[in-house]
Amino acid sequence: MKIVEKAAEKLKALHPEPQESTQIDPVSDAASASAVPDVERLQEQRQVVDRPSETAPLCHVDQMALKRMGYLPSNHEGDERLNDEMRRIKRPLLANVTGKNAKTPAHAQRILVTSPMPGEGKTFTAVNLALSLAREPDFEVLLVDGDIPKSSLTRAFGLDGRPGLMDVLADDKCRPESVIVRTDVPNLQVVPVGKRHKLTAELFGSRRMQDVLEAFGGKNRRRLMVFDSSPLLATSESPLLASHMGQVLVVVAASRTRQQAFNASLQSLHASQFVGLILNMSRLPASENYYDSGYGN
């Protein structure tokens, strides 16, 4: 019996019973061990969501590709003349934005480029106007593809398949800032058309559209928005998009645009908007200053 008791005492000495003060709850210990990584993961996710677009990689604007597609002149002489003509076009627009004109329209920083019918050069004008405005040191420019059926601007900048305007309109959880693509052209950003939606006209006329435009305008910065729209008489959504704009440029093709279509397109615009008329495909010599007589309210 004594031998058994001595063996038990040795066993207790080798394996002492744990005291209450040193007991560890394996469940609570595992929870506390995993709590810190969870917090870190949540903080990392929040940093990704709140990350400004300025940290995203720049999208390269291939000017040679734009020339091949006909959106930029192919020679130096044509480039110089186009630059001069765009300077003439943008001056009244900038005067409205800065309040230098006597009657400044609301939302003057929102500029729509459209035409009565297809094939009159509106996308060409929108691209070159945006590039010209981006050279202004006091502004940055957001070029938005609002021509949902054709999305020519999206293809021209190589942004097919990227989320864009229609995605933020159709999904309230999609942040407008997330679809803005920064380019390697200073002061120029682009919004692609995104995934097409069967209710485009309804989305353009929605309250969500107003919120998205406000977000596109940015905060505490001077941002100009240039929208490439579908022709006014070709789709039902084009006049709706135009209704959100402060300034509208209507491109007409010389010896091509019919008077009836021209009149109908102007009637679809609001009287409070600033409307500029651009004559495209003209054979007038470079010395002719035909833009001065082309602008009016």
What would the pLDDT profile of 257-278 be if each residue is shown by its tens digit? 999 999 999 999 998 899 999 9
In a domain, 44, yes or no: no
33 occurs within a structural domain = no
- Residue 7 resides in a domain: no
Q: Is the pLDDT at 201 greater than 60, yes or no?
A: yes
Q: Confidence band (pLDDT; 50, 70, 90) for 10?
A: low
How confident is residue 184, by pLDDT bands cut at 50, 70 and 90?
A: very high
Q: Does 47 fall in a domain?
A: no
β-strand pairing of 274-280 with 295-296:
antiparallel
Residue 1 resides in a domain: no
- The pLDDT value given to residue 80: 93
Confidence class for position 55, pLDDT limits 50, 70, 90: low
pTM of the model: 0.78
Kindly state whether residue 24 falls inside one of the protein's structural domains.
no
DSSP string, the chain: -HHHHHHHHHHHHHSPPPPGGG---HHHHHHHHHHHHHHHHHHHHHHHHH--GGGSPPBP--HHHHHHTTSS-SSHHHHHHHHHHHHHHHHHHHHHHTT-SSSPPTTTTEEEEE-SSTTSSHHHHHHHHHHHHHT-TT-EEEEEEE-TTT-HHHHHTT-TTS--HHHHHH-TTS-GGGG-EEBSSTTEEEE---S--TTHHHHHTSHHHHHHHHHHH-SSS-EEEEEEE--TTT-SHHHHHHTT-SEEEEEEETTTS-HHHHHHHHHTS-TTSEEEEEEES----TT---STTTEE-
> What is the average pLDDT across 47-55?
46
The pLDDT of residue 49 is: 38
Number of domains in the chain: 1
Q: Is residue 76 part of a domain?
A: yes
Give the CATH number of the domain where residue 183 resides: 3.40.50.300
In this prediction, residue 151 has a pLDDT band, given cuts at 50, 70 and 90, of very high
Specify the pLDDT at position 6.
60
Query: Domain range for residue 238?
Result: 60-296
Q: Is residue 205 part of a domain?
A: yes
**Residue 218 confidence (pLDDT):** 84
Q: Output the average pLDDT for the chain.
A: 83
